[in-house]
Amino acid sequence: METAKLTVRLPKQDLEFAEQYARARRTTVGELVDRYLRRLRIRNSDKIQLESGRGEMDAWRELFRVGDALAVEDPPGSQTLTAAVLSMRR
């Protein structure tokens, strides 16, 4: 698979959390992002809406839904990346 580099700017605390989360799971932040996006693509390959506004909000909702589904795989009591992001949104 061909790969490309992506630079993403995040609040420092979010990046620190993502790095800690990845280390605890013996993976990388890049692999975490790839995992989220692959599941998002697989589950929505025929549903992706790229219209402005509603389509963008639907994509974010779906990203968090996928995150919640991934969180089910985490051990009980562990803080997931999705939970951390949701707590920051409140």
Instruction: Encode pLDDT of 33-86 as tens digits.
Output: 888 888 888 777 655 554 445 666 777 777 777 777 766 666 666 666 656 665
Reported as a single tens digit per residue, the pLDDT across 55-66 is 667 777 777 777
Res 42: pLDDT:
77
Residue 36 burial (10 A CB sphere; 0-12, 13-18, 19+): middle
Res 65: pLDDT:
75
Domain spans in the chain, listed from the N-terminal domain onward: 12-42+50-89
Reported as a single tens digit per residue, the pLDDT across 11-33 is 899 899 889 989 998 999 999 88
